[in-house]
Structure formats: C-alpha cells, structure tokens
C-alpha cells in the first residue's frame, strides 16, 4: 500500500481507500515495455526502492561497494586490475565522463560509427574540444576492424578508439573482440559503449582488449534509471588524473571518492542503486550472463519469426542481429500509420519503440527487461489485432 495526500489522483487500476488514506496496488498493472530502456522490471526490484537510506549510511556504502565488485566480476576481470566507477545520470553521462577524463589533451579520438549512438559519441567528443576522426558505415552494416587498423597505422595522434557493441539504432552487433585486438596491438586505448549488451552478451573485458566499458542501470541488468557505470582498467584510469574537462564528470575524482570513504562526491541516486543491487542478485539467480542471454535470445526468436510470418520485413540481416532490439520496416500499405499503430498497441498494454534508423522508415521492438516468451506471444497477438483494426494487409496476414 502507498500512502498519499488526499488531493492526489490515484494511478489507473488502483483503488483509493478514503478511510485509511491509502492506495492499494494489488490490481496495478503497468504496460509491458518492449523498448531498449527504461524496461519492465521485476516486482522485487521495484520493492527494493521502498527504503530511505542516507548517502553516508554504513549499509548504503556496503551496498555500493558490493555493486562495484559484482560489476567487475560480471566483466570477467579481477578487482586488483579493474574497477567500477558509478556515475549519476543516464548512460550518456557515463559515456561523456570517459571522454571528458580519459582522452589526453592534444590527442585524437577515433569513432567507428554505424548508428545514432556512435554519432552521439563523436558529437560529445567535439563539444569537449577533442579532435575526432570518424569512420562511418551504413546503419545496416557492421564496422570493419581492418579500417580501424589502417587509421591507427596512419595517425599516431589517435589515442583512443570507441564504438558501440550493440548499436541500439538498429540492433546490430559490432565485432568488438576483433577491434580490441587491433587497438591493443597498436598501443591505443579501447572504449566500448556496451549500453545495450552488458549483462546479456558475454563481454570479457581483458580478453577483448577493452580499457573502458560503459553501460547503464536500466538495460540488460534490469534495474531502473538513475546512474551509469564504467568498468575500467585501473592503471589506465589512474593515469588520467588531472586531465578531466569537467568537475562533475571527472571519472578519476569519482573513483577516488568512492575508494576513500565509499561515498559519491555529489548526491547519489540511492533508490536506483538499491534497485540495481537487487537486480544484480536476480541476474545471478537467472544464471548470470548466459542465463539472461538465453532468455533474451528466445524472446528475439519468437518476435522475429512471428513478425516475419505476418509479413513484416526486418531491417538487418539475421546474422548481424543482436538479441536485444529488432528493427522492422513500416508495412507498404497506405493504411499504416505508426503513431496510430503505437497508440493502439499502448491501449492494449504494449509499448514498442519508434525507429531511429536514418535511411529507412522503421520501428523497433525490444526483447529485454523482465519479459518472457509468453509476453512476446501476447505482443504478436496484439499486433495482429491492431493490423486488422487498421485494415493493414500484409503478405502472410489473413
């Protein structure tokens, strides 16, 4: 039960008890989020936030320490050689913190780009005053490691290479292990945006030659928004001291604060961290990265097969697709309108995601979060009903 002021309006599907001045939430059902984040979360993750802990509370400091150590282990490295730095804000805050702190002044950043999030990284770099070299590819094509190798050989001023693991624009999976080997051989730093992959796709940071990896609380680990995190090679991170171009996004200062007394330099997202700690425990119970990845792959296979059977075309070739989010072309039917399609699905309790692909009309369906194969089948049934309501006819639709 949730107490609230009498002037508030109760959410949908809740009952307000005037005598007790409480909302009962037994019938409160959120819409299922088929998105790349924020995601549908478990009831127990939500319940973990129903506490108030002070930022200097010993229990909270212990939880932060446990979260940081669990994330290092999830990256399959050792706490003696690697560390995790938590950063308040969305995933983009964490991404910017690495660039603001870890690209040496006067040196260049190479961005391998095949989507909107790669372009965002380049934009962040330029805004910070970093000289950015771009290698750009079509949004339905993976980055090419040999191109990066060539660029590094030709330009000794490139200090860092960055790319997305799973580029959420389309759902494409990039070959970061191959890129990492080349970057490491060239003696440069490798920085991976693993926003939509970490926790569900194997990412051995040391074996892949990754120096800095950033992800977010509200992705495959199935926490709630509020902070991002960077798994960093400790000696590389410490060598960046004094280089930061920002006060609040100084990754080394944030690390030193967490190490010295377990506290954030500025107000921490206490409730989001409590939820994330619970989410990490639930990830472990599910079988870790392998178990969670298996569920997401099953979700993806059901969606891909079911949508294709209805006549939808996938944007990516199957061999390039990560089991995180899938892009589909708009149907070639004059009756199809995405805004209406989206709204009718939302009315039925299913939230999908608009497209972000620049060269095609697409929408996206996420396979991650606290969703299971039956949720995918329910969504497919709702899509079929909505198509019929809109009088959209596709090959394979009766």
For residue 334, count other CB atoms closer than 10 A to its CB. Answer: 8
Q: Write the pLDDT tens digit of every residue in 145-170.
A: 999 999 999 999 999 999 999 999 99
* pLDDT score at 396: 52
The pLDDT of residue 4 is above 70: no
Band of the pLDDT at 24, cuts 50, 70, 90?
low
Lowest mean pLDDT among 15-19, 64-68, 175-179: 15-19
Whether the CB-CB separation of 215 and 117 falls below 8 Å is answered with no
List all residues 6 or more positions away from 170 whose beta carbon is below 8 Å from its beta carbon: 114, 115, 139, 140, 315, 316, 327, 356, 357, 362
Q: Write the pLDDT tens digit of every residue in 86-126.
A: 999 999 999 999 999 999 999 999 999 999 999 999 999 99
Round to whole Å and give the CA distance between 57 and 265.
Answer: 15
The structure tokens listed for 89 are 């804000």
Is the N-terminal amide bond of 10 cis, ω within 30° of 0? no
Residues of the chain above pLDDT 70, percent: 92
Whether the CB-CB separation of 39 and 223 falls below 8 Å is answered with no
Query: How large is the average pLDDT for residues 192-211?
Result: 97
First to last CA, the chain: 46
The pLDDT of residue 19 is above 90: no
* pLDDT score at 398: 41
Whether the CB-CB separation of 315 and 362 falls below 8 Å is answered with yes
Residue 133 — φ and ψ, nearest 5°? -105, 130
* pLDDT score at 397: 46
Band of the pLDDT at 18, cuts 50, 70, 90?
low
List all residues 6 or more positions away from 114 whose beta carbon is below 8 Å from its beta carbon: 136, 137, 138, 139, 141, 142, 143, 164, 167, 169, 170, 172, 174
Q: Write the pLDDT tens digit of every residue in 266-305.
A: 999 999 999 999 999 999 999 999 999 999 999 999 999 9
Round to whole Å and give the CA distance between 86 and 74.
Answer: 15
The structure tokens listed for 73 are 């282990």
* pLDDT score at 8: 40
Query: How large is the average pLDDT for residues 204-211?
Result: 97
Q: Which residues are 131's β-sheet partners?
A: 108
Domains and CATH numbers, the chain: 58-284 (3.40.640.10), 288-390 (3.90.1150.10)
Give the mean pLDDT of the chain.
Answer: 92
Round to whole Å and give the CA distance between 318 and 300.
Answer: 11
Q: Write the pLDDT tens digit of every residue in 224-264.
A: 999 999 999 999 999 999 999 999 999 999 999 999 999 99
Q: Write the pLDDT tens digit of every residue in 71-83.
A: 999 999 999 999 9
Name the pairing type of β-strands 32-33 and 350-351: parallel
Q: Write the pLDDT tens digit of every residue in 367-389.
A: 999 999 999 999 999 999 999 99
Query: How large is the average pLDDT for residues 358-371?
Result: 93
The pLDDT of residue 128 is above 60: yes
Q: Write the pLDDT tens digit of every residue in 190-200.
A: 999 999 999 99
Round to whole Å and give the CA distance between 176 and 191.
Answer: 10
């Amino acid at each position: 039960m949730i107490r609230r002021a009498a002037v508030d309006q109760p959410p949908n599907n809740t009952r307000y008890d005037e005598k007790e001045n409480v909302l009962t939430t037994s019938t409160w059902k959120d819409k299922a989020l088929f998105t790349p984040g924020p995601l549908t979360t478990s009831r127990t993750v939500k319940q973990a936030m129903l506490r108030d802990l002070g930022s200097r509370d010993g229990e909270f400091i212990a939880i932060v320490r446990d979260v940081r150590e669990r994330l290092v282990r999830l990256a399959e490295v050792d706490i003696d050689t690697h560390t995790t730095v938590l950063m308040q804000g969305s995933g983009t805050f964490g991404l910017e913190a690495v660039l603001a702190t870890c690209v040496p002044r006067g040196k260049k950043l190479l961005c391998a780009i095949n989507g909107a999030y790669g372009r965002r990284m380049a934009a962040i770099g330029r805004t910070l005053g970093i000289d950015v070299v771009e290698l750009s590819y079509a949004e339905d094509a993976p980055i090419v490691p040999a191109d990066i190798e060539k660029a590094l050989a030709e330009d000794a001023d490139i200090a860092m290479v960055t790319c997305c693991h799973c580029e959420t624009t389309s759902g494409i999976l990039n070959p970061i292990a191959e890129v990492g080997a080349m970057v490491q051989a060239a003696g440069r730093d490798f920085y991976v945006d693993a926003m939509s992959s970490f926790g569900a796709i194997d990412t051995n940071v040391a074996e892949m030659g990754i120096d800095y990896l950033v992800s977010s609380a509200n992705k495959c680990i199935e926490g709630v928004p509020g902070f991002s995190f960077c798994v960093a090679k400790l000696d590389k991170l410490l060598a960046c001291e004094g280089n930061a171009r920002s006060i609040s996004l100084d990754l080394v200062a944030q690390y030193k604060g967490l190490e010295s007394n377990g506290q954030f330099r500025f107000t921490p997202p206490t409730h989001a961290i409590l939820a994330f700690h619970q989410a990490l425990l639930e990830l472990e119970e599910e079988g870790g990265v392998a178990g969670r990845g298996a569920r997401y792959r099953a979700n993806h296979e059901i969606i891909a097969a079911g949508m294709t059977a209805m006549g939808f075309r996938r944007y990516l070739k199957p061999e390039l697709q990560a089991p995180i989010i899938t892009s589909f072309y708009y149907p070639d039917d004059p009756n199809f309108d995405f805004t209406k399609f989206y709204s009718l699905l939302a009315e039925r309790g299913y939230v999908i995601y608009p497209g972000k692909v620049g060269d095609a009309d697409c929408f996206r369906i996420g396979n991650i979060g606290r969703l299971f194969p039956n949720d995918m089948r329910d969504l497919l049934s709702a899509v079929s009903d909505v198509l019929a309501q809109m009088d959209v006819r596709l090959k394979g639709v009766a």
